[in-house]
């Protein structure tokens, strides 16, 4: 693998992140803090506990996942779309790098940004609620896997998008609703049996459930199923990216 090429793409994308630090970091942290105030304080004062955990602490994993999934997707999609927009992607395609090296550079940078934001939000959560992490290593593992998998999805969206509006279409209309309906602010066991079954078709449920288990030791679905869901999602994204570079779909058009 051409590590120099991967490092160059990675460092370029990270430099862009720090040039737009207010938009890239401060904005998602402030918006998440508002969720803590509204849901944790206002609604949490009316809900005592969920599965033996205070409601303010219970929503922390869901809020982190909401920000991480959105930021990973957005950063990766913009990172690959912008070279398409200004035409520099042809220089990248003509360079002696393969699709894995290009993907590693862009996806690695987007995943790093999302993980950085997730950890900042986790630190911010301690200002609002008492929070103990039962399985810190598993928490970091789930966070890393989520950042990588949704960065891969964002990379695909960036190649697919034909304009800037389409870059926001899937994160806004699909990912955010799936996160809200995936148990971010509640346990799916609180739903009627029919809706519990329907909710299990939401892939985000497995990510949030596994991540919440790493905090509190409780989950809506088994950890094995959560890991299998992440692995399957990542494999599908990698296969799609391989096919895109093999056929030139939306790249050479």
pLDDT, tens digit (0-9, with 9 covering 90-100), for 48-101? 788 888 888 898 999 999 889 999 999 999 999 999 888 888 888 888 888 899
The C-alpha atoms of residue 71 and residue 118 are separated, in whole angstroms, by 9
Q: What is the pLDDT of residue 56?
A: 83
Q: What is the pLDDT of residue 41?
A: 66
Model pTM score:
0.91
Hey, is 111 helix, strand or coil?
helix
Q: What is the pLDDT of residue 61?
A: 93
Closest CA to 204 of 230, 222, 223: 230
Tokens at residue 141, please? 């593992």
Q: What is the pLDDT of residue 171?
A: 84
- Spatial neighbors of 181 by CB under 8 A, at least 6 apart, are 199, 202, 204
Looking up tokens 């929503």, which residue turns up? 59
Q: What is the pLDDT of residue 238?
A: 94
Closest CA to 68 of 108, 25, 13, 118: 118
Q: Which residues of the chain have pLDDT under 50?
A: none
Give me the phi and psi of 54, to 5 degrees please.
-60, 145
Give me the phi and psi of 132, to 5 degrees please.
-120, 140
Q: What is the pLDDT of residue 39?
A: 72
């Amino acid at each position: 693998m051409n590590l120099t090429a991967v490092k160059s793409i990675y460092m370029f994308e990270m430099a862009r992140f720090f040039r737009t630090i207010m938009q890239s970091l401060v904005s998602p942290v402030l918006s998440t803090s508002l969720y803590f105030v509204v849901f944790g304080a206002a609604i949490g004062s009316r809900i005592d506990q969920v599965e033996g955990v205070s409601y303010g602490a219970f929503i922390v994993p869901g809020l982190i996942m909401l920000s991480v999934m959105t930021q990973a997707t957005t950063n990766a999609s913009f990172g690959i779309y912008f070279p398409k927009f200004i035409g520099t992607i042809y220089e990248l395609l003509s360079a002696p790098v393969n699709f894995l090296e290009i993907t590693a550079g862009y996806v690695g940078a987007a995943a790093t940004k999302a993980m950085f934001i997730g950890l900042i939000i986790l630190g911010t959560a301690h200002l609002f609620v008492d929070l103990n992490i039962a399985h810190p290593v598993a928490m970091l593992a789930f966070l890393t896997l989520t950042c990588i998998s949704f960065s891969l999805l964002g990379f695909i969206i960036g190649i697919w998008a034909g304009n800037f509006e389409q870059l926001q279409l899937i994160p806004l209309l699909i990912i955010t609703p799936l996160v809200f309906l995936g148990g971010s602010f509640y346990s799916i066991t609180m739903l009627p049996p029919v809706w519990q079954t329907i909710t299990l078709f939401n892939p985000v449920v497995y990510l949030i459930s596994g991540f919440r288990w790493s905090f509190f030791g409780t989950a809506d679905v088994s950890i094995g199923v959560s890991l299998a869901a992440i692995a399957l999602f990542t494999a599908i994204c990698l296969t799609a990216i391989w096919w895109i570079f093999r056929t030139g779909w939306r790249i050479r058009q």
